[in-house]
């Protein structure tokens, strides 16, 4: 086939494949009808408003927000020093640590969820919220370590020695000259972690329990009972939220440099 | 030396099990400008890092201004270091880079401003105070690094390869700048370099290092005219260096006698300009010539091996392949105490 026509056709198909579902969701959420349908029956914003009236959505949104923010912050508190140690020192078994730290990216979430349920929650009577918190922190940690490692890799280590010779201590040098220079990477890791946690399904699926659910799990539960377009409306709202965050991050941080 | 300001005694430095510097002894007087000269891996940078406190010695002592600083932390030594890569803080502008150490000392307000501005003025960068390091040229970055160290009024200023990242024109400018700053402040300065011309041009005294040991210490004139070992001779441009064996030159083709009796030393060395061309007991064929302004350089294939000679450019040219007589005059040769 002539590449002049072939390239745009393939490009168009790929874009359709990537953006199509999103368009369908947004269209379905604007439906005036009673059931989830595409093409939408009439146009209305009623299901968008309905989202905010559903009590369980409000509760699970709170849980998700707490996990995403708290989990990401915890992962950063653990991940930044880890990334620093891995990039600056010859850590014994450093390679092993790197591999283990990245294992949640490789191991399917569903297995992580099952493992945590079977070997942590059940035997130790771990509460649902602490278990979810732990799981989300563990899931975000690899992103934190990787993204922060990348920006540490671009930072010369002799500026720390220069700071020490100008009178600060080693920890002082870290806070005064390392941290300010990897701020962008840390923020990028935060955003990536936040979005990852917020959209997490498989691990949360196993660990959600009575009364405590993350938003995506709650949406799945809602759909089993009610088949109205409010789920589509919520999905669309969440997608716009993620897009907004990434857009702002790109605008002010050059997010794509870090990921 | 009684007026030792900095003294290194039996200093042994190692990275893990790899010994980089062995049993080094050295004293430096106040206000001296000293060069550590040597090829990469000779231990010069390692020694400098130990003086700065960035590396703990395996053994030995470092004394500065009458105080044993061997175990004093790097941030309490009053030793400044200008890094080869300058190591400016990328997130701070020029003013804040220079103010960094002063702020740590608790200085602020007008006093800080005055001091930083004076520091920047002394390196001619007053109008760049608001710029980020990334917006400066290499030479400007280095002057910021110099000002950043100098405003701390260190007892001792160390410079790691201060001219190696600069182009030829800036190099000369920076060399003058360093000399000026040193003379104006009277600070004791040590700089590390692998470039003999840099060391010769800038230093009051040169410490030539090889394989973690001091090979020779002397004034630039000493080092240039009277190298004590084959290594130093080779390093400062003696292109024709020979070991002596039973009064004869040691060559690939066996011992060869000179035109006069040789002294009882380990070796002899000649600069290209010390080789007599046109007459003499030896003969070689011209393999290459190159014009060098007032002189012309010749590379000769001879029974002694390759010989580099130099002749006045006004004299007739020896053609490639031509046979030329020459001599290595014993009375002009530099006598080497050590060979290898």
B87 and A168 within 8 Å at the Cβ level: the answer is no
B54 and A156 within 8 Å at the Cβ level: the answer is no
A161 and B81 within 8 Å at the Cβ level: the answer is yes
Q: CB under 8 Å to B194, separation ≥6 — which residues?
A: B37, B38, B39, B40, B161, B164
A164 and B74 within 8 Å at the Cβ level: the answer is yes
B90 and A158 within 8 Å at the Cβ level: the answer is no
A164 and B83 within 8 Å at the Cβ level: the answer is no
pLDDT at A259 (0 to 100): 58
Touching check for B83 and chain A: CB below 8 Å? Answer: yes
The C-alpha atoms of residue B207 and residue B56 are separated, in whole angstroms, by 21
What chain B holds in terms of domains, given with CATH numbers, is 4-232 (3.40.50.300), 239-336 (2.40.50.140)
Residues of chain A neighbouring B73 (CB-CB closer than 8 A): 169
Cβ contacts below 8 Å, chain A against chain B, sum to 62
Q: A5 pLDDT band (50/70/90 cuts)?
A: confident
The C-alpha atoms of residue A252 and residue B140 are separated, in whole angstroms, by 29
pLDDT at B141 (0 to 100): 94
> Per residue in A5-40, is it b (16+ CB within 10 Å) or e — as a string?
eeeeeeeeeeeeeeeeeeeebbbbbbbeeeebeeeb
CA–CA min distance A194, chain B (Å): 26
Most A-contacting residue of B49, B64, B83, B142 (CB-CB within 10 A), to test interface: B83
Q: A247 pLDDT band (50/70/90 cuts)?
A: confident
Contact A207, A121 (CB under 8 A): yes
B89 and A156 within 8 Å at the Cβ level: the answer is no
pLDDT tens digits, chain B, 340 residues: what are they? 447 899 999 999 999 889 999 999 999 999 999 999 999 989 999 999 999 999 999 999 999 999 999 999 999 999 999 999 999 999 999 999 999 999 999 999 999 999 999 999 988 899 999 999 999 998 899 999 999 999 999 999 999 998 888 888 888 888 888 888 898 899 999 999 999 988 998 999 999 999 999 999 999 999 999 999 999 999 998 999 999 988 899 998 889 999 888 888 999 999 999 999 989 999 999 999 998 889 999 999 999 999 999 998 888 788 899 999 999 999 999 999 988 6
A166 and B75 within 8 Å at the Cβ level: the answer is yes
pTM of the full predicted structure? 0.81
What Cα–Cα distance (Å) separates residue B28 from each residue in A47, B8, B25, B178?
A: 83, 9, 10, 18
A167 and B80 within 8 Å at the Cβ level: the answer is no
CA–CA min distance B104, chain A (Å): 7
Calculate ∠ Cα B277-B278-B280, nearest 5°.
Answer: 85
What chain A holds in terms of domains, given with CATH numbers, is 54-257 (1.10.3720.10)
Sign of the CA dihedral running A125, A130, A132, A136: negative
Contact B120, B95 (CB under 8 A): yes
Most A-contacting residue of B49, B74, B96 (CB-CB within 10 A), to test interface: B74
The C-alpha atoms of residue B170 and residue B335 are separated, in whole angstroms, by 37
Name the nearest CA neighbour of B34 among B233, B182, B153: B182
The C-alpha atoms of residue B100 and residue B91 are separated, in whole angstroms, by 12
Q: A227 pLDDT band (50/70/90 cuts)?
A: confident
Please determine, for the modelled complex, whether the ipTM score is greater than 0.95: no
Give the nearest partner residue to B87 out of A158, A167, A172, using CB atoms.
A158
pLDDT tens-digit profile of B231-266? 999 999 899 999 998 889 999 888 999 988 888 899
A163 and B100 within 8 Å at the Cβ level: the answer is yes
pLDDT higher than 70, residue A83: yes
Phi-psi region of A181 (alpha: psi -120 to 50; beta: other; left: phi over 0): alpha
Residues of chain B neighbouring A165 (CB-CB closer than 8 A): 52-54, 74-75, 77, 79-81, 149
Question: Per this entry, what is the length of chain B?
Answer: 340
Residues of chain B neighbouring A155 (CB-CB closer than 8 A): 90
B88 and A159 within 8 Å at the Cβ level: the answer is yes
Mean pLDDT confidence for A14-19: 92
Give the nearest partner residue to B91 out of A156, A158, A180, using CB atoms.
A180
CA–CA min distance A159, chain B (Å): 5
- The SS3 call for residue A257 is helix
Touching check for B78 and chain A: CB below 8 Å? Answer: no
Residues of chain B neighbouring A180 (CB-CB closer than 8 A): 91
Name the nearest CA neighbour of A57 among A229, A222, A232: A222
Residues of chain A neighbouring B85 (CB-CB closer than 8 A): 156, 158
Longest dimension (CA), chain A: 71
The C-alpha atoms of residue B35 and residue A88 are separated, in whole angstroms, by 30
CA atoms within 13 A on the CB side of A209: 13
The C-alpha atoms of residue B144 and residue B97 are separated, in whole angstroms, by 8
């Amino acid at each position: 086939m002539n590449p002049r026509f072939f390239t745009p056709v393939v490009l168009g198909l790929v874009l359709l494949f990537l953006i199509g579902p999103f368009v369908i969701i947004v269209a379905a959420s604007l439906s005036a009808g009673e059931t989830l349908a595409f093409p939408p029956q009439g146009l209305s914003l009623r299901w968008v408003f309905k989202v905010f009236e559903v009590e369980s959505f409000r509760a699970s949104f709170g849980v998700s927000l707490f996990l995403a923010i708290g989990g990401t912050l915890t992962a950063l508190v653990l991940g930044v020093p880890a990334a620093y140690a891995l990039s600056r020192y010859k850590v014994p078994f450093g390679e092993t640590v790197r591999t283990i730290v990245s294992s949640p990216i490789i191991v399917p979430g569903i297995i992580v969820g099952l493992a945590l349920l079977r070997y942590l929650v059940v035997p130790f009577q771990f509460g649902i919220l602490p278990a979810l918190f732990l799981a989300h922190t563990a899931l975000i940690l690899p992103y934190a370590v990787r993204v922060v490692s990348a920006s540490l890799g671009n930072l010369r280590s002799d500026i720390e020695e220069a700071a020490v010779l100008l009178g600060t201590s080693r920890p002082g040098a870290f806070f005064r000259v390392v941290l300010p220079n990897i701020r962008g990477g840390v923020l990028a890791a935060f955003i990536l972690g936040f979005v990852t946690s917020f959209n997490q399904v498989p691990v949360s699926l196993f660990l959600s329990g009575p009364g405590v659910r993350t938003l995506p799990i709650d949406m799945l539960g809602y759909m089993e009972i009610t088949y109205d377009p409010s789920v589509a409306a919520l999905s669309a709202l969440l997608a716009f939220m993620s897009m907004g965050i990434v857009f702002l991050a790109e605008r002010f941080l050059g997010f794509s440099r870090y990921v | 030396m009684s007026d030792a300001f900095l003294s290194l005694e039996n200093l042994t430095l190692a990275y893990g099990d790899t010994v980089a510097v062995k049993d080094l002894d050295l004293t430096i007087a106040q206000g001296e400008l000293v060069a550590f000269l040597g090829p990469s891996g000779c231990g010069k940078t390692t020694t400098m890092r130990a003086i700065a406190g960035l590396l703990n010695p395996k053994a030995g002592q470092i004394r500065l201004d009458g105080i044993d600083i061997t175990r004093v932390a790097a941030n309490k030594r009053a030793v400044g270091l200008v890094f080869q890569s300058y190591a400016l803080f990328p997130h701070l502008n020029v003013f804040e880079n220079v103010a960094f150490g002063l702020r740590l000392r608790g200085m602020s307000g007008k006093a800080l401003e005055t001091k930083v501005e004076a520091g920047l003025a002394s390196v001619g960068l007053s109008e760049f105070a608001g710029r980020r390091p990334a917006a400066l040229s290499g030479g400007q970055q280095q002057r910021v690094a110099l000002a950043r160290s100098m405003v701390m009024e260190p007892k001792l200023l160390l410079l790691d390869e201060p001219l190696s990242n600069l182009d030829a024109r800036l190099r000369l400018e920076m060399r003058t700048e360093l000399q000026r700053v040193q003379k104006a402040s009277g600070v004791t300065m040590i700089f590390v370099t692998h470039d003999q011309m840099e060391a010769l041009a800038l230093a009051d005294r040169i410490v030539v290092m090889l394989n973690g040991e001091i090979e020779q210490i002397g004034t630039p004139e000493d080092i240039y005219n009277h190298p004590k070992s084959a290594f130093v001779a080779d390093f400062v441009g003696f292109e024709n260096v020979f070991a002596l064996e039973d009064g004869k030159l040691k060559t690939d083709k066996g011992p060869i006698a000179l035109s006069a009796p040789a002294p009882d030393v380990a070796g002899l060395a000649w600069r290209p300009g010390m080789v007599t061309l046109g007459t003499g007991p030896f003969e070689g064929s011209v393999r290459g010539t190159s014009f060098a302004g007032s002189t012309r350089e010749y590379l000769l294939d001879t029974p002694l091996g390759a010989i580099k000679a130099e002749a006045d450019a006004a004299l007739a040219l020896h053609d490639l392949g031509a046979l030329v007589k020459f001599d290595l005059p014993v009375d002009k040769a530099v006598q080497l105490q050590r060979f290898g």
